Structure 1
Amino acid sequence: MVGWSELPEDIVEHIAKRLTFILDFTRFGAVCRSWRFVESKKKRLLTPQPPFLMHIMVGKDGGMIYNYYSLSENKKFEFTIPKTHGIKCVGSTEGWILTVDDCFKMLLLNPFTSAQIELPPKATLKDKFSRDHYSQEELWHLTVWKASLSSSPSSNNECVVLTIHGYWRLLSFARLGDEVWTPVDCVIQYFDDAIYYKGKFYALNVIRGVFWVDISINPSTILITNPIQEATTEIGYLVEWCGELLQVLRQMDLDMCSPGHQTLGFRVFKLDFSIMKWEEVKSLGHYALFLGWNTSISLNAAILPGINENCIYFSDIGHPLCIAKEILQKDIGIFYMKDKSIEPLHTGLTYCFHAPPLWVIPNP
């Protein structure tokens, strides 16, 4: 009997042509080396894929177990990638995520190809806070809150990674190949989100406003617009939508150091750069937003199966200093812009408050 690896390439390609789901391609390529070669060619021809809600756990053999919830299929999937480590995951740009393992090693990882890129060590992040009052586990979770990439590392060696890190939620960045993180001279602390928009990085503090992050010779932050409203019960996100820069405010009923919390609604604004003023957005049109620990994203729902238009998909907020057990009351759902209603998403994912799942767009 002919083995799988000995099947003629035209037959293997015929099988590959019938696959439309990226996780099926990942399993297909795991059969053997010859199938992996066909997979690498055909995967690039995939139609646009809707985001997955992804959570990572560590398996018994030390490999990373990826738990995915697919919106289009309303199913949970699980598979393990050996020789990958790290359980703290933040940021998600074109399928790449930033991971931190229990030895504080930091990597960029593409979970769909297993490609890894080493980043400067955590020890070079200048956090400016005393570690005496925190456990090793708490320090680990404080390493990075969010990360934003200037481009996909697989297509551009000039990729820059900007992180929000440490107790004070400061900014630092690194280019691929750097040996240390470069700190940004920040006039404020406690940044909520960051984005790479039209060739520049921007960072948000809901109470203080939006800042341009200058990463040239003397890295610094420069205020470009004042806050929409001083509100401590709102969490802010920056996202690009149809070429516009949006600020999305998530209204919460929460205790930031308790698993008990609930999303009440969202407010959406776009920035008019000509007068540097925020204008409220009542409709997202055919688009949907995906907010969470990932880099915030907007997608054309009209071309994606299983995605609702004019909606905001949100995942749990989490908090690094709440080393709690599994969250029983999940805060994952869909906010409908038209009538401001919220529909819970029952994903079947199990996670703790300090490590909630994040949205990932498949990128082969």
Structure 2
Amino acid sequence: MHGTWWPDLLPELLREVSCRLHVGADFIRFHAVCKPWRDSHGPSTTTGAGQFLPWLLVPIKKSGDSLNFRCVFSNTSYVAPPAISGGSGTGMNWVASADGTTVRYFTAFEPHGLTLHDPLAEGPPTHLPGENVLRRLEENPAGIIYNNGAVLLFSKHDSFDTTTAEFRAALLRPGDTEWMFVHRTLESPFDGAFCVAYHNGKIHVTVEDSLWQVVSVTGESTAATNNDDVQVPRPRSMPRQCDGYLYERSYVLESRGELLWVSVHILMHYPDQGKNGVNDLVDALSMSMHTLEEVTKEPEKLLWTRKDGRSLEDRVLFLGWPNSFALDASRLGMSGGFAYFLYYDDQGGCRLHERHGVFRHNLIDNTTEFVEWLPQGWDKEMCVWLLPQLTIAPVNQGPATTSRSNKTCAWVLVSNLPLRAKSFWLHHLFIMLQRLFSIFSSRLFGGKVIY
């Protein structure tokens, strides 16, 4: 690609070309060589691209760890310095935007208290309001920042008897000056994953697949009581053990005003003897999807109803921690009706180390495809999907530091050299040619010879 290829193209056409570049690295290369397209944008404007393909961000497991990024669509990896040093808390302490465009690292520093650090850009940390949020949430809180400005921080702590879990949340709604705190004891039959969402003025949380707790936070009090809580049971349409499936993990996200619950299941008998390859794994995986609806004729106020995968044929889902999101497939330049998620494979305990990989599930025909295995150390449950956001900065072109010579240059091409020609012979030949061409160039061109 060369800059002289583009001058005759209209700016609108150049922008159309850039909109079809969904890998961040390709977009940057195009921006670097295509000066007419750069000039068609004002300084510090957004990229104007349709949408970049998301990257995976692995969580920090201990202080000082580097940040590892991976784009499974371009087979590209990137390692960045650690986001922070000297802070408390690791692992699950991501605070991500609901749409996947930003991510922050949530930690506590003395004497500033809670702060949010940007792992991708240097700059001062964002200080949270002066409430003792960390003490109320205890260790390892995570969070989601919503498009309307609401901030939800949460944590879960399993009890010693492994039958219950303590769920704590802090919510800062748009326009509020004080945090609202939630503390609930939830059923937790195992040390399993949990997912949380803030939707329509309510906090939705589950720590297993049989029951959801919906906490109403529409009041003015800074402590939400459980008087208006609603428990939403598991839908009958979800695969069960009697159907030969085991529940693995849940994800919750909002798409076009709907709250979607996506759950991953696997066949109980995987791996069968002699069937433990990746093809057998994808055959054993299954996924179900439901949407939350308000009902008036039923005893329950809320119900999870089955979501037809064909209704998502124009969208792509990216399922991760702590947030999941959906994107229009047309903006990504790819087919819709798919969900990307992470899963592990220890072959029923036969492998010494778990393998963690990325999989793509077809929401229309309920089939799963293998994408790639991730490097060792990546965690299936804690990876964040992050959408690259680029901003075009003005290119400052200073004056040239050296003057360009206007003298004419002549070039000499020596071909058909004999095989026995040595360096000494070539040196002698060039000396003779230099003398001859110096005479002609000084008389005819007024320049010098470059050889």
TM-score bracket, shorter-length normalisation = 0.5 to 0.7
2:285 alignment partner in structure 1: 264
- Find 1:95's aligned residue among 95, 101, 104: 101
Report the identity percentage.
Answer: 16
2:210 alignment partner in structure 1: 207
Residues 33-54 of structure 1: CA deviation (Å, up to 9, x unaligned): xxxxx99814454432222111
Larger radius of gyration: 2
Q: How far off is 1:187 after superposition?
A: 5.2
Residues 212-250 of structure 1: CA deviation (Å, up to 9, x unaligned): 341641314511532225967342222122322211121
Alpha-carbon separation, structure 2, partners of 1:123 and 1:312:
34
- Find 2:143's aligned residue among 139, 144, 147: 147
Greater relative contact order, per chain length (Cα 8 Å cut-off, separation 6+) = 1
2:182 alignment partner in structure 1: 184
Is contact 1:96-1:109 (8 Å) kept? no
Residues 108-144 of structure 1: CA deviation (Å, up to 9, x unaligned): 34444345323467751355xxxxxxxxxxxxxx623
Taking structure 1 as reference, are residues 111 and 47 closer, same or farther at Cα in structure 2, changes over 3 Å only? Answer: farther
Aligned length: 306
Residues 236-278 of structure 1: CA deviation (Å, up to 9, x unaligned): 2221223222111211479xxxxxxx77211011222244332
Q: How far off is 1:342 after superposition?
A: 1.7
Taking structure 1 as reference, are residues 277 and 82 closer, same or farther at Cα in structure 2, changes over 3 Å only? Answer: closer
Alpha-carbon separation, structure 1, partners of 2:80 and 2:137:
36
- Find 2:366's aligned residue among 320, 327, 340: 340
2:255 alignment partner in structure 1: 241
Residues 37-95 of structure 1: CA deviation (Å, up to 9, x unaligned): x99814454432222111145899x4x63322224423222333665667524352143
2:170 alignment partner in structure 1: 173
Q: How far off is 1:348 after superposition?
A: 3.9
Residue 302 of structure 1: SS of its match in structure 2?
Answer: helix
Is contact 1:234-1:249 (8 Å) kept? yes
Is residue 288 from structure 1 mapped to residue 316 from structure 2 by the alignment? yes
Q: How far off is 1:310 after superposition?
A: 0.8
Is contact 1:69-1:76 (8 Å) kept? yes
What are the ranges of 5 or more consecutive residues in structure 1 without an aligned counterpart? 1-13, 28-37, 128-141, 255-261, 319-325
Alpha-carbon separation, structure 2, partners of 1:331 and 1:267:
20
Alpha-carbon separation, structure 1, partners of 2:343 and 2:42:
33
Alpha-carbon separation, structure 2, partners of 1:304 and 1:18:
12
**CA RMSD of the aligned region, Å?**
4.6
2:356 alignment partner in structure 1: 330
Q: Name whichever structure is richer in strand by fraction.
A: 1
**Aligned AA for 1:124?**
R
TM-score between the two structures when normalised by the length of structure 2: 0.54
Taking structure 1 as reference, are residues 327 and 96 closer, same or farther at Cα in structure 2, changes over 3 Å only? Answer: farther
Is residue 309 from structure 1 mapped to residue 336 from structure 2 by the alignment? yes
Alignment of 1:64-79 (within 5 A): 65-79=66-80
Residue 125 of structure 1: SS of its match in structure 2?
Answer: helix
What are the ranges of 5 or more consecutive residues in structure 2 without an aligned counterpart? 1-13, 30-40, 159-164, 241-245, 269-280, 297-301, 346-351, 391-451
1:251 alignment partner in structure 2: 265
Alignment of 1:21-32 (within 5 A): 22=24
Is contact 1:81-1:114 (8 Å) kept? no
Is contact 1:53-1:357 (8 Å) kept? yes
**Aligned AA for 2:69?**
Y
